[in-house]
Structure 1
Amino acid sequence: MNEQPSTARTSLKWGAILGLVLMLITLVMYLTDQTSNPLFTGLTLGAMVAFLILSMRDYRSLNGGYMSYGEGLGLGALLSTIAGLLSSAFITFYNVVIDPTVQQRAMDKAREKLEEQGVMSDEQIDQAMEMSAKFQSPGFTFIAGIFGTLFIGFLLSLIVAAFIRRNKANPFE
């Protein structure tokens, strides 16, 4: 009797690898002081799509060439959660231990952009900066990173699983 492959095992493997890749992207972004560069957002999304495709194809091949839409969606959500846990833990560690000035530099850049636009008064900019500072705590950053990665990963999984799935002709096999 054939043993059914586990979506959890596949998710753990590919989620850990994606988590390491996201850590590397974040590290390069921080070291080059490019925290507001949209290239890194695109790179992160591209990595997530690539690893979702790789993981779903891996699971499908382990499962005799078949994967349901639900299996793909579950696999993608779990993979995203694992990657989010790892990358959020790294970002929190980096921001608290290695370089606590990262968030302050990002806030300073945001202030400069708001001042250059000239749409808001100084009072409004100060209020916006105060509000943003409330969301910069390590705990909030960690939780938001996990749920943000899970949310984006789930949305991407909805699309990727639709293309990678391959249902059995006889569901009772």
Structure 2
Amino acid sequence: MTEQTTSPSSVGVRYGLITGFISVIFSLVLYVTEMHQNKWMSVLSILILVAGIVMAHSYFKKENMGFMSYGQGLGIGVILSAVAGVLGSIFTFVYVKFIDTGFLEKARNAQIEEMEKNGMSDDQIEQAMNMAEKFSGPGMMLVMGIVGSVVIGLIISLIVAAIMKKSRPEFE
């Protein structure tokens, strides 16, 4: 039996950096074109994460004689998501804090407009916006971006690892 040639953590970090950079470029395009509020674009950003996890699992299996346990697949996906989440969150923090300093105000105004369309009263809107402001600063966006990426990555990894796993035979 040959030793495992590639570790789950090294694959997770490598593909996390690749996925993170692709996500940063995608986010930059969304911010510049002002399409970041488009819900379909959010779905596309999740598909980027799914593709990164699938590619990382494929690479790991190729490097390890076609085998990957469920735990290894889960570990790769979570590490990848954490690395990509850190990169994406740092980019968002820098963008909101230094590049487009009016970003949060524009987002706030868009939220108010959406709530008004939905028929919310002024009191309800004010209450909702007071709650939202607690979570909308650049620092909080950084933390929530990382946590959100890891949680979404965990959920995706639970599914993708179950599909892509191929256990090594016990008596080889």
- TM bin (shorter chain): over 0.9
Whole-angstrom CA distance in 2 between matches of 1:95 and 1:4 = 41
Amino acid at match of 1:76: G
Contact 1:30 1:102 in 2 (8 A): no
Unaligned runs of 5+ in 1: none
Whole-angstrom CA distance in 2 between matches of 1:114 and 1:95 = 23
Residue by residue over 1:52-101, the C-alpha shift from the partner in whole angstroms, topping out at 9 and shown as x without a partner, is 10000100111111000000000100000000000000000100010111
Matched-pair identity in %: 36
Partner of 1:146 in structure 2?
A: 146
Amino acid at match of 1:121: S
Q: Which runs of 4+ in 1 moved over 6 A?
A: none
Matches within 5 A, 1:1-173: 2-118=3-119, 120-170=120-170, 173=172
Contact 1:35 1:106 in 2 (8 A): no
Return the offset for 1:3: 4.9
Amino acid at match of 2:122: D
Contact 1:5 1:62 in 2 (8 A): yes
SS in 1 for 2:75: helix
Residue by residue over 1:101-150, the C-alpha shift from the partner in whole angstroms, topping out at 9 and shown as x without a partner, is 111111101101111221x2112111211211121122211111001000
Normalised to the residue count of structure 2, the TM-score between the two structures is 0.95
Whole-angstrom CA distance in 2 between matches of 1:30 and 1:37 = 11
Amino acid at match of 1:161: A
Unaligned runs of 5+ in 2: none
SS in 2 for 1:44: helix
Whole-angstrom CA distance in 2 between matches of 1:32 and 1:3 = 45
Amino acid at match of 2:54: I
- How many pairs were matched up? 171
Whole-angstrom CA distance in 1 between matches of 2:48 and 2:108 = 27
Amino acid at match of 1:163: I
Normalised to the residue count of structure 1, the TM-score between the two structures is 0.94
